[in-house]
Amino acid sequence: MRTAVWLIGGAAALSACMPTEAPTDEPTTTVAEVPVRLSEAEVTAANGAAGCEAFDERDDASAQHVDEDAPSADVLYERRPAAAGDHLGAWIDVGVHRDDAPDERAVVHNHEHGAVSVWYAPDAIGEEGLDLLTTWAEARNEHLANDAGAGVIVAPFVDGLDGDAVAFRSWTGGLDCAAFDPLVGDGFLLERFGDAPEGALAPSLAGIIDGATAA
């Protein structure tokens, strides 16, 4: 995870330029209530505790539309779950998909519109972890989901996550974690939500999840 740049609604703000603020007595809320105020230190600590590893592939990833009969995801994408690349012309409805895994190639289209997906390994996340992930995603989508495919997508990844419980994905970026933590999820949204070629279609995070101090 980059510690120098916060991305809010697709617009980058250098954390080093953020004004120093006095510590707040308000508790950090990470599941149902907004606004959520986060510092880099909080997010970094949560990522470490959850065993997260990040990747960032900011490049000129191809974003061509392909047909339904195009190669499957395991052929089309080098890294899976996929973050960016060629994708189906249609995106999926944002929300929690607990029964059936959506087409990965369609989810990449959501990423192009600024969405974040959270894929989970059913045999690794546990029922309590999945319930927490579901509650967090539904609470965030009350403010972020729209008809353009932006918002938070939660889905099972049936091909496995190499021992991880969850895999966060956005356009060209991701975070693989041994456990789900709402603080990690909010930090990933703060950094990556709306940061995409068509991220203007995503609503702003301002007033929902805000960077506090850069301590």
Q: What's the pLDDT tens digit per position in 45-92? A: 999 999 999 999 988 789 999 999 999 999 999 999 999 999 999 999
Question: Would the pLDDT of 2 be above 50?
Answer: no
Residue with tokens 């510092």: 39
Give the mean pLDDT of 133-159: 97
Per mean pLDDT, which range of 11-20, 151-160, 162-171, 193-202 is the poorest? 11-20
pLDDT value of residue 212: 78
Residue 168, token pair as written in the block: 């966060």
Q: Give the pLDDT band (50/70/90) at residue 99.
A: confident
Q: What is the spatial distance between Cα 152 and Cα 139, in angstroms, rounded to a whole number?
A: 10
- With beta carbons less than 8 A apart as the criterion, state whether 88 and 57 touch: no
- With beta carbons less than 8 A apart as the criterion, state whether 107 and 143 touch: no
- With beta carbons less than 8 A apart as the criterion, state whether 61 and 87 touch: no
**What backbone phi and psi angles, to 5 degrees, belong to 81?**
-60, 150
Q: What is the pTM of this model?
A: 0.86
- With beta carbons less than 8 A apart as the criterion, state whether 141 and 150 touch: no
Determine what percent of the chain is predicted with pLDDT higher than 90. Answer: 78
Q: What is the spatial distance between Cα 100 and Cα 25, in angstroms, rounded to a whole number?
A: 42
| DSSP codes, 96-136 | E--SSPPPHHHHHHHHHTT-EEEEE-HHHHHHHHHHHHHHH
Higher-pLDDT residue of 193, 99: 193
pLDDT value of residue 71: 96
Q: Is 156 helix (H, G, I), strand (E, B) or coil?
A: strand
> Which tens digit of pLDDT belongs to each residue from 109-124?
999 999 999 999 999 9
Please give the helix or strand (H or E) that residue 40 lies within, else none: helix 40-49
Q: What is the pLDDT of the chain when averaged over all its residues?
A: 87
pLDDT value of residue 30: 63
Q: What is the spatial distance between Cα 32 and Cα 129, in angstroms, rounded to a whole number?
A: 15
